[in-house]
């Protein structure tokens, strides 16, 4: 069974970890893995050059989470992290005080940068870095091109990470732009992973700047709309608020209500030219589920808080069940 996940950072990484636990339980291959094949297509719109090294926040969060190295409470970054380099960098008056650059995390950035400078595309670099961790999934960047999300704010535009981390998404945003989008192409394997999938999952990632950015890469949205596999999404909004992060600010910026039903309608049903076949919401959003169902959506309300791996595995099971793909 082939599963393809379009993921941002923490939410998508945690969901994928639960999905893997489910698949290992139901389709074990006897050596701790799974006979299912999971491809994770990661958002690269948050990527940036920082002090000359290439930082890929979502790829890193996925790698650390699935590789068992993540700072669990924080959700991103490495556990047992330190900041010797960044503290000293600030003594030069150069560090970004608002951006954590951990020593262990920096090793990943340096390794990535060296391989990029050797001329390898990001997808190959990612495969090489991931091989250290034994992720149990194939991890693909959405694109090998440098397509960075910038946020339109008063007076100009700033890199997404500056808006998100420095300003905590509190600076009013009037929209987003993917700098470098024109001429970019999906990374090798991305379109195929959508075409050949048995099921595609949109995990509870940011629908605007994570999943939305992946879908904006030329060819990706089209492949998702065209795949024969069912596409099921899990709402990142519970009870009118994002579970984590500040997705509400992103939704507001593009005129979408922070509501489980509004996010579904933003994605749209594939029969209507959108990208979803089914939508899983939290039990707190039964009203949203009912409204969507009245409009013909395949929708279900279940507990969707990813409190631990077992609970998340059940959410993944509910999502696959909704499109009849539970193995």
Give the sign of the dihedral formed by CA 311, CA 314, CA 320, CA 326: positive
Instruction: Give the full edge-to-edge strand order of the sheet including 148-153.
Output: 156-159, 148-153, 175-179
Site string for a second copy, 5-44 (x = CB under 8 A): ----------------------------------------
3-state secondary structure of 108: helix
Name every residue whose Cβ is closer than 8 Å to that of residue 199 and which is 6 or more positions away in sequence.
Answer: 1, 2, 3, 4, 229, 230, 231, 232, 320, 323, 325
Q: Cβ closer to a second copy: 106 or 200? A: 106
- Residue 82 is a binding residue for a second copy (CB under 8 A): yes
- Residue 119 is a binding residue for a second copy (CB under 8 A): no
Question: Which one of residues 29, 117, 241, 290 is an interface residue with a second copy (CB under 8 A)?
Answer: 117
* Class of residue 314 by CB neighbours under 10 A (exposed 0-12, middle 13-18, buried 19+): middle
Stretch that binds a second copy, among 37-45, 98-106, 135-143, 299-307 (CB under 8 A): 98-106
Q: Are 122 and 148 a contacting pair, CB within 8 Å?
A: no
Question: Which one of residues 110, 171, 302, 309 is an interface residue with a second copy (CB under 8 A)?
Answer: 110
- Residue 84 is a binding residue for a second copy (CB under 8 A): yes
Question: Which one of residues 115, 147, 193, 316 is an interface residue with a second copy (CB under 8 A)?
Answer: 115
Give the max Cα distance, the chain. Answer: 60
Nearest distance from C-beta of residue 190 to a second copy, angstroms: 24
CA–CA gap between residue 78 and residue 70 (Å, rounded): 5
DSSP for 205-240 reads S-TTTTHHHHHHSTTHHHHHHH-SS-EEEE-SEETT
- Residue 93 is a binding residue for a second copy (CB under 8 A): yes
CA–CA gap between residue 191 and residue 171 (Å, rounded): 35
Question: Which one of residues 68, 72, 107, 308 is an interface residue with a second copy (CB under 8 A)?
Answer: 107
Q: Cβ closer to a second copy: 115 or 247? A: 115
CA–CA gap between residue 14 and residue 113 (Å, rounded): 26
Question: Which one of residues 25, 94, 268, 286 is an interface residue with a second copy (CB under 8 A)?
Answer: 94
CA–CA gap between residue 194 and residue 3 (Å, rounded): 9
Q: Are 139 and 59 a contacting pair, CB within 8 Å?
A: yes
3-state secondary structure of 278: strand
Q: Cβ closer to a second copy: 37 or 126? A: 126
Question: Which one of residues 34, 86, 145, 149 is an interface residue with a second copy (CB under 8 A)?
Answer: 86
- Residue 134 is a binding residue for a second copy (CB under 8 A): no
Nearest distance from C-beta of residue 2 to a second copy, angstroms: 28
- Residue 74 is a binding residue for a second copy (CB under 8 A): no
* Site for a second copy, residues 40 to 59, rule: CB under 8 A: 49-54
Nearest distance from C-beta of residue 326 to a second copy, angstroms: 36
- Residue 179 is a binding residue for a second copy (CB under 8 A): no
Stretch that binds a second copy, among 77-85, 141-149, 214-222, 305-313 (CB under 8 A): 77-85
DSSP-derived pairing of the beta strands 278-282 and 231-234: parallel
Residues that bind a second copy (CB under 8 A): 49-54, 82, 84-89, 91-94, 103-104, 106-108, 110-111, 113-117, 128-129, 132
């Amino acid at each position: 069974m082939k599963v393809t996940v379009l993921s941002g950072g923490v939410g998508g990484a945690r969901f994928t970890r639960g999905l893997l636990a489910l698949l290992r339980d139901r389709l074990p291959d006897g050596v701790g893995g799974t006979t299912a094949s999971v491809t994770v297509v990661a958002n690269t719109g948050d990527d940036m050059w920082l002090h000359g090294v290439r930082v890929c926040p979502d790829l890193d969060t996925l790698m650390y989470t699935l590789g068992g190295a993540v700072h669990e409470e924080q959700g991103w970054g490495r556990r047992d992290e330190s900041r010797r380099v960044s503290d000293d960098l600030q003594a030069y008056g150069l560090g970004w005080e608002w951006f954590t650059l951990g020593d262990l995390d920096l090793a990943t950035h340096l390794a990535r940068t060296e391989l990029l400078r050797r001329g390898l595309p990001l997808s190959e670099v990612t495969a090489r870095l991931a091989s250290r961790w034994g992720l149990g999934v194939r991890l693909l960047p959405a694109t090998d091109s440098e397509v960075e999300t910038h946020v339109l704010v008063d007076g100009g535009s700033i890199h997404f990470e500056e808006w998100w981390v420095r300003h905590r998404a509190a600076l009013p945003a009037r929209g987003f732009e993917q700098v470098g989008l024109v001429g970019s192409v999906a990374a090798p394997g991305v379109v195929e992973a959508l075409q050949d999938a048995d099921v595609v999952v949109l995990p509870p990632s940011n629908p605007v700047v994570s999943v939305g950015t992946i879908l904006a890469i030329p060819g990706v949205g089209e492949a998702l709309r065209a795949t024969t596999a069912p596409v099921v999404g899990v709402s990142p909004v519970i009870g009118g608020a994002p579970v984590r992060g500040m997705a509400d600010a992103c939704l507001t910026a593009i005129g979408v209500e922070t509501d489980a039903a509004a996010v579904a309608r933003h994605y749209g049903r594939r029969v209507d030219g959108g990208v979803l076949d089914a939508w899983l919401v939290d039990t707190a959003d039964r009203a949203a589920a009912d409204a969507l169902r009245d409009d013909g959506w395949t929708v279900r309300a279940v507990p969707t808080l990813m409190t631990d791996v077992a609970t998340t595995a059940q959410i993944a099971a509910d999502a696959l069940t909704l499109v009849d793909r539970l193995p």
